[in-house]
């Protein structure tokens, strides 16, 4: 894909995206979400899931659950052939902006200890490592690193 980053669009996850998003998850995670799990997000009132389109093609997806003033970021994923071009950073930035707009004051997430690309991405986006959940990922019995950051105060639209 050679499209410029200006061609990016974000839209809400919809039923017609589920099969492609599931296929991207399968090549991106050791324990990918199933189509049923993604479908459940469509009806989950706390869920805000988006797909990232690059020149009208799905290049990634991700979402967050909003509870009180906390956003739990999840499933930030860029299609393998689109990585290392700044798209992960754009996707994360978009999710943080949406969460801020909807009233979140903090964002947090869990990431596999061995997932160095994702940990770097989150560190560059201002997250700090604040804890660890021992053996959180049953596949591989791997620890999760918990990362958090504050969000800017959302000002009402002028
Ligand atoms: C993590 C992921 C979303 C990053 O997407 P990406 O489009 O490649 O990321 P970007 O090009 O925007 O890179 C942003 C920063 O992430 C870090 N990064 C990304 N890939 C990296 C790699 N392979 N090694 C080290 N750091 C990496 C760098 O800090 C990079 O900033 P820099 O380019 O200025 O050095 C992508 O690798 C992915 O989809 N992985 C599989 C799914 C996954 O594990 N998601 C995270 C779940 S917690």
pLDDT of 158 reads 44
Show me where the domains of the chain are located. Answer: 5-150
Counting residues of the chain whose pLDDT is more than 70, the rounded percentage is 95
pTM of the model: 0.95
pLDDT of 134 reads 96
Asked if 129 and 138 touch (Cβ cutoff 8 Å), the reply is no
Q: Does residue 40 come out as left (phi exceeding 0), alpha (psi in the -120 to 50 range) or beta? A: alpha
C-alpha closest to that of 55 among 18, 91, 5: 5
Active site residues: 110, 122
Res. 7: pLDDT tops 90: no
Select from 72, 118, 126 the residue to mutate for testing ligand 1; criterion: most ligand atoms less than 8 Å from CB: 118
Counting residues of the chain whose pLDDT is more than 90, the rounded percentage is 91
Query: 72-88, pLDDT tens digit by residue?
Result: 999 999 999 999 999 99
66 lines ligand 1 (CB under 6 A): no
pLDDT of 113 reads 97
Q: Which atom of ligand 1 is nearest to the CA of 90?
A: 12
Res. 111: pLDDT tops 80: yes
39 lines ligand 1 (CB under 6 A): no
User: In a 3-state reduction of DSSP, which class is residue 79?
Assistant: coil
Res. 116: pLDDT tops 90: yes
Q: Who contacts 134 (Cβ-Cβ below 8 Å, separation ≥6)? A: 143
pLDDT of 157 reads 54
Rounded (5°) CA angle 46-60-5: 120
Topology, domain 5-150: Aminopeptidase (3.40.630)
> How many angstroms separate the alpha carbon of residue 72 from the centre of ligand 1?
18
CA distance linking residue 153 with residue 100, whole number of Å? 7
pLDDT of 143 reads 97
120 lines ligand 1 (CB under 6 A): yes
C-alpha closest to that of 29 among 125, 140, 108: 140
Asked if 73 and 107 touch (Cβ cutoff 8 Å), the reply is yes
Neighbours of 113 (CB within 10 A): 15
Query: 18-31, pLDDT tens digit by residue?
Result: 999 999 999 999 99
Asked if 88 and 121 touch (Cβ cutoff 8 Å), the reply is yes
């Amino acid at each position: 894909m050679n499209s410029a980053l200006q061609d990016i669009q974000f839209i809400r996850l919809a039923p017609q995206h589920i099969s492609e998003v599931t296929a991207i998850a399968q090549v991106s995670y050791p324990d990918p979400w199933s189509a049923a799990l993604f479908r459940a997000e469509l009806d989950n009132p706390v869920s805000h899931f988006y797909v990232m389109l690059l020149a009208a093609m799905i290049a990634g997806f991700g979402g967050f659950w909003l509870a009180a003033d906390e956003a739990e970021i999840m499933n930030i994923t860029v299609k393998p052939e689109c990585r290392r071009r700044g798209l992960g950073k754009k996707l994360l930035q978009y999710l943080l902006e949406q969460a801020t707009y909807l009233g979140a004051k903090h964002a947090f997430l869990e990431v596999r200890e061995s997932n160095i690309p994702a940990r770097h991405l989150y560190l560059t986006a201002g997250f700090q490592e604040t804890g660890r959940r021992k053996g959180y990922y049953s596949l591989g019995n791997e620890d999760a690193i918990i990362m958090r950051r504050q969000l800017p105060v959302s000002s009402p639209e002028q």
